[in-house]
Amino acid sequence: MSVVTGSQLEFDDSYARELPRLSQPWIAASVPAPTLLMFNEELATELGADAEALREPPGVALLVGNGSPDGVRPVAQAYAGHQFGAYVPRLGDGRALLLGELVDGGGRRRDLHLKGTGRTPFARGGDGKAAVGPMLREYLMGEAMHALGIPTSRALAVVTTGEEVMRDTMLPGAVLARVAASHLRVGTFQYAATSGDPALVRKLADYAMARHYPDAAEAANPYLEFYRCVIDTQASLVARWMLVGFVHGVMNTDNMTISGETIDYGPCAFMDTFDPATVFSSIDHGGRYAYGNQPRIAQWNLARLGETLVPLIDGNTDAAVEAATDALTSFAERYEGYWASGMAAKLGLDAPDQPLIRDLLALLHAQRMDFTQFFRALSSHLQGRPARSLFTEPEAFDAWAARWQALVPRDRNAVTAAMDRVNPIYIPRNHRVEEALTAATDGDIAPFRRLVEVVARPFIQRPGLERYAEPAPASCGPYVTYCGT
Task: List the catalytic residues.
Answer: 254
Query: Residue 74 in contact with residue 28, Cβ under 8 Å?
Result: yes
Q: Give the number of C-alpha atoms closer than 13 A to the C-alpha of residue 150, restricted to the C-beta side.
A: 29
| Residue 272 within binding range of ligand AMP, rule CB under 6 A | no
Amino acid at 339: W
Q: Exactly one of 111, 138, 261, 264 binds ligand AMP (CB under 6 A); which one?
A: 264
Q: Which does 85 bind (CB under 5 to 8 A by kind): ligand AMP, Mg ion, none?
A: none
| 162/484 with CB nearer ligand AMP | 484
| 81/222 with CB nearer ligand AMP | 81
Nearest distance, CB of residue 314 and ligand AMP, angstroms: 32
- Bridge partner residues of 257 (DSSP): 185
| Residue 141 within binding range of ligand AMP, rule CB under 6 A | no
Q: How many other CB atoms are found less than 10 A from the CB of residue 228?
A: 22
CB under 6 A: which stretch of 120-128, 291-299, 332-340, 392-400 binds ligand AMP? 120-128
| 88/165 with CB nearer Mg ion | 88
Q: Which residues contact 323 (CB under 8 A, 6 or more apart)?
A: 221, 224, 313, 314
| DSSP state for residue 387 in the 8-state scheme | G
CB under 6 A: which stretch of 146-154, 247-255, 380-388, 435-443 binds ligand AMP? 247-255
Amino acid at 450: R
| Residue 292 within binding range of ligand AMP, rule CB under 6 A | no
Q: Exactly one of 74, 128, 295, 471 binds ligand AMP (CB under 6 A); which one?
A: 128
Nearest distance, CB of residue 432 and ligand AMP, angstroms: 23
Nearest to 416 by CA among 426, 405, 427: 405
Q: Which does 95 bind (CB under 5 to 8 A by kind): ligand AMP, Mg ion, none?
A: ligand AMP
| Residue 252 within binding range of ligand AMP, rule CB under 6 A | yes
Query: Residue 33 in contact with residue 161, Cβ under 8 Å?
Result: yes
E strand segments, 108-190: 109-115, 154-166, 170-180
Nearest distance, CB of residue 129 and ligand AMP, angstroms: 6
Q: What's the rounded Cα separation, in Å, for the pair 392 and 395? A: 9
| Residue 92 within binding range of ligand AMP, rule CB under 6 A | yes
Query: Residue 340 in contact with residue 354, Cβ under 8 Å?
Result: yes
- Bridge partner residues of 58 (DSSP): none
Q: Exactly one of 66, 153, 255, 262 binds ligand AMP (CB under 6 A); which one?
A: 255
| Residue 91 within binding range of ligand AMP, rule CB under 6 A | yes
Residues that bind Mg ion (CB under 5 A): 255, 264
Give, in order, the Cα–Cα distances in Å from 203 to each of 19, 197, 344, 385, 462: 7, 10, 41, 58, 50
β-pairing, 23-25 with 10-12? unpaired
Q: Exactly one of 93, 101, 225, 261 binds ligand AMP (CB under 6 A); which one?
A: 93
Nearest distance, CB of residue 294 and ligand AMP, angstroms: 16
Q: Which residues bind ligand AMP (CB under 6 A)?
A: 91-96, 122-123, 126-129, 250, 252, 255, 264, 266, 483-484
